[in-house]
Amino acid sequence: MVPEPWVDSQSAPEEFVSLTAEQAQRLQAAMRPISLAGVWWGQLLLAGAMGVGVFFLRPAWFSSVCWGAFLVLLPQALMVAMVGRNIGRWPAAVWLTRLFVWEWAKFALTLGLLAVAARWVQGLVWPVLLVAFVLTLKMGWLAAFLQHGCGSWRPRSDNTR
């Protein structure tokens, strides 16, 4: 019999153990909620730091950095206003539907702002704009990670089974 190459022969497969309702409630109570407004403030803080740094180092890039951050911050502020403050007010399915709708609205607004920048804003340095856009966007993930409590992760010990 030929061993299957993708199966790890050194370790036995772990069994999946589902949580009881009580265990799930305790786990949820122990987790801190993530604030969408806190994520937005983290993005704004990074955008301000990038703007100040570029203003003093390369003033010609300042408008590009501002537009790159603005492409993230305005749509995100709209989504925070429409979805973030209402967490827990609706059933989960309704809230998730609203989240998806506003995520698409955020995407459309971002594309619209990008078209406005391409058409009417003169002197943009596009690589700088895109770097500022990506950094501001990714700061949202970092801010959410930090809010959730990255210090609370613990390595799994063998006696947790």
Instruction: Assign residue 3 a region (left: φ > 0; alpha: ψ between -120 and 50; beta: otherwise).
Output: beta
The pLDDT score that the predictor gives to residue 150 is: 61
Q: How far apart are the first and last CA of the chain?
A: 32
Give yes or no for residue 18 having a pLDDT over 70.
yes
> Cβ distance 140 to 77 under 8 Å?
no
Q: What percentage of the chain reaches a pLDDT higher than 90?
A: 47
The kind and range of the H/E element at 129 are helix 126-148
Distance CA 43, CA 47 (A): 6
Judged against a pLDDT cut of 60, whether residue 114 lies above it is answered with yes
Distance of alpha carbon 72 from alpha carbon 101, whole angstroms: 17
| Residue 125 confidence (pLDDT) | 93
